[in-house]
Amino acid sequence: MPRSRTNSSPVSELAIELDRDDGEALHRQVEVSIRERIRSGALPAGIALPPTRALAAELRVTRGVVVEAYAQLVAEGYLTSRGGGYTHVSPTATVAPAATAPPPPTRSAAADPIVDFGYGRANLAAFPRAAWLRSVRRVLTETPDERLGYLDGRGAIELRTALAAYLNRVRGTNATAETIVITNGYAQAVSLLLGVLAAEGGATVAVEDPSASDDARPIADALGMKVVGVPVGDDGVRVDALADLDADALILTPSHQWPTGGVLSPAARAEVLAWSQRTGALVLEDDYDAEYRYDRAPIGAIQGLGPDRVAYAGTASKTLAPGFRLGWIVLPPRLVQPFAEAKLLADRGSPILDQLTFADFLSRGEFDRHLRRMRPIYRSRRDALLAALAEHLPELEPAGIAAGLHLVAWLPDDLDEATVIAAAAREGVAVAGVSPYRLSPAPRGGLVFGYSNLEERQIADGVERLARAIAGGP
Ligand SMILES: Cc1ncc(COP(=O)(O)O)c(C=O)c1O
């Protein structure tokens, strides 16, 4: 039920279009237009219509025209009018079925797992609301009016400056405010970058195999670019496969391969750069979860070693919230201008208040504080997962455990990935397989466990259920 707005002030405009050459009386046209809006739900029950004098002035008709239209609709029950007050849409006005609010989605029991190891479910309950609110307040109080106007395509200078300092310090990038562009997350960064490369004549994009299947690949397809896979080994992309690789861009997750978790060694990083220098191809470094590193030494971004050859993309999706749609890309200088133009064309720039708030949050050290608070939480969740797997499913082989918010557990040869996932679902456990992310089939199955949004006891329960599901057979 729409909330009654009987006491609210009237809507100020109705944007009714009158056709003075139509021959139909003007009061009839006003009446028909309002009736249709009530029926479609555009004018909800309880809403107050403009006073007759105001609407008449807006439509440039005599007041009598509006009075007559309202009177007819009152007579039909669409409007209610009490002497002296506003005319309202009647609480019982008929609304066409198509315009009613859709019923809330109902989910079957099978779609509601008891334990969901779904990847990408950041710990939204841990969002630093109080600190963020302080930054919002400061920004709203201090931002001069003129900063609320249209933006340039690169993003707020405050955020680009704060990010350059942060990324150079924490990720070893070689970034300046001039080489950073703010995006709506990684998804937009990769989309715009591939668009720029395609416009320059780029025809082939290389991606890791396996890799995420919902960003670069469909975008490249839509741009008419060919997608080729480069195999991934235990330590990230297999650089021996680069020898014959002919591509305009290579998209990598070198700090924590997605999904298998391998880390590209310093020697392999150097080989990637050498390949890029030899072929003239661009490397896109997707540094999606580098902030979370547990028991390994920090590994700097490849971009820091080759800022002319590498574009570095980061996101707030894993550290703050995916719904923010806030990301950044550090570009080789020659690509900044075309990329910023593409960004401006795509959406006229990311929302300024979010950018300024994040800049404040970063430069006051709140982001570092938030990460310091989150790391031990995620580490103990990962440890709980590893302990439960070791106890209940020792035949699974965890990989990529040293960083991030997920891990892969490889299945033994006698366990089929799809069968295990289906059995797990019957025990109330949602877990994804590695196969959907592959470009070419591989014999070994694996499960992707996201653990960031589950408490330790839920993790233990989920693994016990999974073990029961596997023991139960197909
Ligand atoms: C491999 C990879 N890159 C990047 C991202 C972040 O994407 P976005 O910033 O568009 O939310 C994700 C999110 O899950 C991811 O899995």
User: Would you say the CB of residue 359 lies under 6 angstroms from ligand 1?
Assistant: no
CATH fold of the domain at 26-99 = Arc Repressor Mutant, subunit A (1.10.10)
List of residues 6+ apart from 43 with CB closer than 8 A: 11, 34, 37, 49, 89
- Point out which residues pair with 312 in neighbouring strands: 285, 330
Q: In this predicted structure, what is the pLDDT of residue 295?
A: 81
Please give the sequence-ordered ranges of beta strands (E in DSSP) within 55-120, or none if there are none.
79-81, 87-89, 115-116
Task: Give the tens place of pLDDT for each residue, 70-119.
Answer: 999 998 899 998 777 889 999 887 665 444 455 554 444 456 899 999 98
Residues in the chain with pLDDT values less than 50 = 1-6, 97-100, 105-109
**Ligand 1 atom with minimal separation from the 188 CA:** 10
User: Would you say the CB of residue 450 lies under 6 angstroms from ligand 1?
Assistant: no
Cα separation, 470 vs 461, whole angstroms: 14
Select from 288, 354, 358, 448 the residue to mutate for testing ligand 1; criterion: most ligand atoms less than 8 Å from CB.
288
Q: How far is the CA of 187 from the centre of ligand 1 (A)?
A: 7
Select from 215, 325, 350, 405 the residue to mutate for testing ligand 1; criterion: most ligand atoms less than 8 Å from CB.
215
Q: How far is the CA of 132 from the centre of ligand 1 (A)?
A: 22
Q: Does domain 127-364 have CATH number 3.40.640.10?
A: yes
Cα separation, 373 vs 253, whole angstroms: 25
How many helices and strands (H and E) does the chain possess? 13, 16
Dihedral sign for Cα 267, 268, 271, 276, please.
Answer: negative
Cα separation, 153 vs 221, whole angstroms: 25
Cα separation, 326 vs 367, whole angstroms: 14
The domain locations on the chain are: 26-99, 111-122+373-471, 127-364
User: Would you say the CB of residue 437 lies under 6 angstroms from ligand 1?
Assistant: no
Q: Does domain 111-122+373-471 have CATH number 3.40.1280.10?
A: no
Cα separation, 337 vs 352, whole angstroms: 20
17 by Cβ neighbours in 10 Å (0-12 / 13-18 / 19+) ranks as exposed
The answer to whether 447 touches 432, Cβ cutoff 8 Å, is yes
User: Angle between the 352-363 and 366-392 helix axes, to the nearest 10 degrees?
Assistant: 80
Task: Give the tens place of pLDDT for each residue, 328-386.
Answer: 999 999 999 999 999 999 999 999 999 999 999 999 999 999 999 999 999 999 999 99
Residues 195-199: contacts with CB under 8 Å, at least 24 apart? 195/223, 195/342, 196/335, 196/338, 196/339, 196/342, 197/225, 197/248, 197/249, 197/282, 198/223, 198/224, 198/225, 199/338
H helices of 146-215, in order, are: 157-170, 185-199
The DSSP letter of residue 22 is S
Residue of the CA atom closest to atom 2 of ligand 1: 288
List of residues 6+ apart from 434 with CB closer than 8 A: 210, 259, 260, 408, 417, 445, 446, 447, 448
Cα separation, 96 vs 102, whole angstroms: 12
In total, the chain counts a number of residues equal to 474
User: Would you say the CB of residue 183 lies under 6 angstroms from ligand 1?
Assistant: no
User: Would you say the CB of residue 428 lies under 6 angstroms from ligand 1?
Assistant: no
- Point out which residues pair with 397 in neighbouring strands: 410
- At 379, which amino acid appears? R
Q: Do domains 26-99 and 111-122+373-471 have the same CATH topology?
A: no
User: Would you say the CB of residue 212 lies under 6 angstroms from ligand 1?
Assistant: yes
Give the residue from 38, 16, 37 showing the smallest Cα distance to 27: 16
- DSSP 3-state assignment of 409? strand
Q: How far is the CA of 438 from the centre of ligand 1 (A)?
A: 17
Cα separation, 70 vs 31, whole angstroms: 7
Residue of the CA atom closest to atom 5 of ligand 1: 288
